[in-house]
A and B are shown apart, each in its own frame.
Chain A
């Protein structure tokens, strides 16, 4: 998927803005937004918040999780955990990128936040790389990818699905009755093992 399209999906998340103007409710197709009262917080979709911010019609409040202390603890958890921890928002990367891009003047300690989020991303990407490696080496037929966000999944596309497609072809052509199967070694034992990508035994 095109990165713009990942962003497109993230942009419908709601954020809180502080408008600098007064206006009644806007009846969007996707639902009502407003009313807007100067300096009273109101929830709007991200795409709308960005647009209003560009027109200097509002300040954007950072989401609760976009806070140095919160993010630092998320980073520590991510570092300590062998599996992927649940991110505070499924689109954390998109939201962070867009807000830090257009509203960094509204966000205290924006530079620190940027660095920590980049760290979290890097830690997770390195886990993803080793998991992909393990999955392909073990010729897995499936794997749980719980807690991975859309942008993270998109970062291993198309390489991982394509690699597995090729493995599948090889397996299908090799398979003859009576021969030992190459691939059904369970990379992931069952889906009850919710955090099994990476399956703990393959990490580290």
Chain B
């Protein structure tokens, strides 16, 4: 009856945060970063660089836990608690991945164009391999459908021009994790706008374009 789950979590997981340096993360830290990634993805108008390592690391934790839970009696309160935690994590990861999928579908053409550029420049892609395949298939399905309707009357270039693009000027709320100096305010002008500094922990509403890089490098996170 009293089966105690003893999972050794002292083994730290590895999740690469930057392309270059591998950083050791505890599961708790991985969850915190996943939450941050979820909220960032929710509010950033454009798709953000993927967090595949985080997702895979947490999915691994979940399946490990679920394997262990099978041996527990379902009336055991511990099982209930573990199950609830697993469900919370599942929601977090699924919601994060769904948000990305919705963006990929909505902005499929501009996203594929950007990824192609990144491939040419030899820089890291924003989409995972799996997402990229989904994006390509989705775009092809869409092309196929429009080709069906319009036959010869609607050249592909014509409807490609009508694609929805993310509004990168849209306003977002952020919280700063670092001291950041000299953020250029995007006020709809091509010329340089005002500058603003951020203290650690300060919060602001601002055009996403002004802070896109800071969101991507983790100096600020959206709220």
Could you say which of A19-27, A60-68, A99-107, A119-127 contacts chain B? A19-27
| A interface bracket (residues with beta carbon within 8 Å of B) | 35 or more
Q: Do B205 and A51 have beta carbons less than 8 Å apart?
A: no
Q: Tell me the bound Cα distance from A54 to B22 in angstroms.
A: 42
Closest chain B residue to A145, Cβ basis: B203
Q: 1/0 per residue A43-62: CB within 8 Å of B?
A: 00001100110010100000
CB distance from B157 to the nearest CB of A (A): 27
Could you say which of A71-79, A108-116, A162-170 contacts chain B? A162-170
Inter-chain contacts of B189 with A (CB < 8 A): 171-172, 175, 181
Q: Tell me the bound Cα distance from A181 to B190 in angstroms.
A: 12
Q: Do B196 and A30 have beta carbons less than 8 Å apart?
A: no
User: B31 at interface (Cβ–Cβ under 8 A)?
Assistant: yes
Q: Do A142 and B197 have beta carbons less than 8 Å apart?
A: no
Inter-chain contacts of B7 with A (CB < 8 A): 27
User: B206 at interface (Cβ–Cβ under 8 A)?
Assistant: yes
Q: Do B170 and A23 have beta carbons less than 8 Å apart?
A: no
Q: Give the residue of B62, B65, B88, B187 whose beta carbon is less than 8 angstroms from that of A141.
A: B187
Q: Tell me the bound Cα distance from A165 to B167 in angstroms.
A: 9
Could you say which of B74-82, B118-126, B143-151 contacts chain A? B74-82
Closest chain B residue to A140, Cβ basis: B205
Query: Within residues 176 to 195 of chain B, which ones have a CB less than 8 A from any CB in chain A?
Result: 185-189, 193-194
Chain A residues near B (Cβ < 8 Å) = 1, 5, 8-9, 11, 21, 23-24, 26-32, 47-48, 51-52, 55, 57, 141-148, 150, 153, 157, 160-162, 164-165, 168-169, 171-173, 175, 181, 183-184, 186, 190-192, 194, 197
